[in-house]
């Protein structure tokens, strides 16, 4: 293939900014004004911030006052988890338990580990099935063992690795029986599947700009006004006294424009990507017949439309990734690195896969710039790359 053409199949990591987001951001870059200042420039900046807040609220089905700007999904998750835990424990010292699915993003798992090590939280990871879907019966058993000790429940809306949509409605219904707040990391879901904060019943929802075609470094925690959150950051008291810090007006404008467009075109975007994803999976399986699709089959809409996660027996995922990269195709592994040593994906391990299976996996994720040509380029390259990866390992 032509070395000058790169095929980008890693939209779940970050997706290119959309034209409307670029225009909204760049329009504000030459303007001056701190949104907390009282003079004309400050008032102009504040107007952009609040109009953007209203745009995001309308797109996500919440009230403007429920949108708390953050630096992205990781900060939003940290604010929700730590803020909820501290507030709930202050109300009742017995509330030390946090229940989470075993397949959460590290932006959730690592704050939970920190709370365990430093704040005496008791974190319980609830099992998932072979497709990566939360076992609601196991969650119910964990809650009902002693509901008065549960500070909060956190379950992601959609899994970032294998694309599994989680039973958020079932989790909310169960939590409501015992008055337990629910947080959901919806970073992968916005613009890919329908997400409505008010009707979902969750108490807090994490969103990130760069996953929906907005700029990096901006996001939001959507949190109900009646929910008490202990702040992580202290300073000027911006964002309801929950999140202090001077607001990035250009990034917020770009973020709002991207969210609005992503939600407006969600249905047609999902339909297009579902067809592309199925084509990708089918063509890869033709070229590598023993490859295995991880996660749900997506037949009944139980998977993110742009997600294809496959294991390639006999391959090291990292090696296969680099071989594809040399052919101009960019994707990702499900594994993480610790001190430079590849670790098997905790998601696949929780789904019952072996360490070897977990290490042999790649995630191909499609987005708004993806085309049939991209899928065909992967199909043309994958067979030879798998052969080389297997030979290298042998």
Task: For CA atoms 111, 121, 205, 345, give the dihedral sign.
Answer: positive
**Total-model pTM:** 0.96
When pLDDT is averaged across residues 37-44 and rounded to a whole number, the result is 96
Q: Which contacts of 284-288 are long-range, i.e. CB under 8 A and separated by 24 or more positions?
A: 284/308, 284/310, 284/378, 284/379, 284/382, 286/379, 287/379, 287/382, 287/383, 287/386, 288/312, 288/382, 288/383, 288/386
Q: Judge whether 62 counts as a catalytic residue.
A: no
Count other Cβ atoms within 10 Å, centred on residue 252: 30
Q: Please, what is the average pLDDT of the chain?
A: 95
The answer, yes or no, to whether residue 336 has pLDDT greater than 70, is: no
When pLDDT is averaged across residues 19-29 and rounded to a whole number, the result is 98
Give the span between the Cα atoms of 246 and 176, in whole angstroms.
36
Give the span between the Cα atoms of 262 and 256, in whole angstroms.
10
Selecting among 62, 315, 331, 337, the annotated active-site residue is 337
> What distances in angstroms separate CA 102 from CA 59, 351, 358, one per listed residue?
29, 9, 15
The answer, yes or no, to whether residue 334 has pLDDT greater than 70, is: no
pLDDT score recorded for residue 339:
44
Q: Which of 22-26, 218-222, 333-337, 370-374 has the lowest mean pLDDT?
A: 333-337
pLDDT score recorded for residue 343:
81
CATH annotation of 7-16+266-393: 3.90.1150.10
Say whether domain 19-264 belongs to CATH 3.40.640.10.
Answer: yes
Q: Where are the domains of the chain?
A: 7-16+266-393, 19-264
> What distances in angstroms separate CA 96 from CA 90, 147, 180, one per listed residue?
10, 11, 12
The answer, yes or no, to whether residue 3 has pLDDT greater than 60, is: no
User: What is the phi-psi region of residue 205: left when phi exceeds 0, alpha when psi lies from -120 to 50, beta otherwise?
Assistant: beta
pLDDT digits (tens, 9 = 90+) for 100-131: 999 999 999 999 999 999 999 999 999 999 99
The answer, yes or no, to whether residue 374 has pLDDT greater than 90, is: yes
Write down the residue that tokens 């297009």 correspond to. 272
Give the span between the Cα atoms of 352 and 358, in whole angstroms.
10
């Amino acid at each position: 293939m032509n070395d000058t053409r790169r095929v980008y199949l890693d939209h779940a990591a970050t997706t290119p900014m959309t034209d409307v987001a670029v225009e909204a951001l760049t329009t504000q870059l030459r303007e001056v004004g701190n949104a907390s200042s009282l003079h004309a420039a400050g008032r102009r900046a504040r107007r952009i911030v609040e109009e953007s807040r209203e745009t995001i609220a309308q797109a996500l089905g919440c009230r403007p006052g429920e949108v708390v700007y953050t630096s992205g999904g990781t900060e939003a998750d940290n604010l929700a988890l730590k803020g909820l835990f501290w507030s709930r424990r202050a109300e009742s010292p017995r509330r030390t338990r946090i229940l989470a699915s075993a397949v959460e993003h590290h932006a959730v798992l690592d704050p939970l580990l920190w709370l365990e090590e430093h704040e005496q939280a008791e974190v319980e990871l609830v099992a998932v099935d072979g497709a990566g879907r939360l076992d609601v019966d196991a969650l119910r058993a964990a809650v009902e063992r002693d509901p008065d000790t549960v500070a909060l429940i956190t379950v992601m809306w959609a899994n970032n690795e294998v694309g599994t949509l989680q039973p958020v409605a079932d989790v909310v219904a169960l939590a409501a029986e015992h008055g337990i707040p629910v947080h959901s990391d919806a970073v992968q879901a916005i613009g890919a599947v329908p997400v409505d904060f008010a009707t979902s019943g969750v108490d807090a929802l994490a969103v990130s700009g760069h996953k929906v075609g907005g700029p990096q470094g901006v996001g939001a925690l959507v949190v109900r006004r009646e929910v008490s959150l202990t702040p992580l950051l202290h300073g000027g008291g911006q964002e309801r006294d929950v999140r202090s810090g001077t607001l990035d007006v250009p990034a917020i404008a770009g973020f709002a424009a991207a969210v609005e467009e992503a939600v407006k075109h969600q249905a047609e975007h999902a339909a297009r990507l579902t067809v592309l994803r199925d084509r990708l999976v089918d063509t890869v399986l033709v070229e590598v017949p023993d490859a295995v699709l991880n996660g749900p089959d997506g037949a009944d809409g139980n998977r993110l439309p742009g997600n294809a996660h496959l294991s390639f027996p006999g391959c090291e995922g990292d090696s296969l990734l680099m071989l594809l990269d040399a052919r101009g195709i960019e994707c990702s592994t499900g594994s993480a690195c610790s001190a430079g040593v590849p670790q098997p994906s905790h998601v696949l391990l929780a789904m019952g896969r072996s360490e070897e299976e977990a290490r042999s996996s790649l995630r191909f994720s499609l987005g708004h710039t993806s085309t049939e040509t991209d899928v065909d380029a992967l199909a043309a390259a994958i067979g030879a790359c798998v052969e080389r990866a297997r030979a290298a390992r042998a």
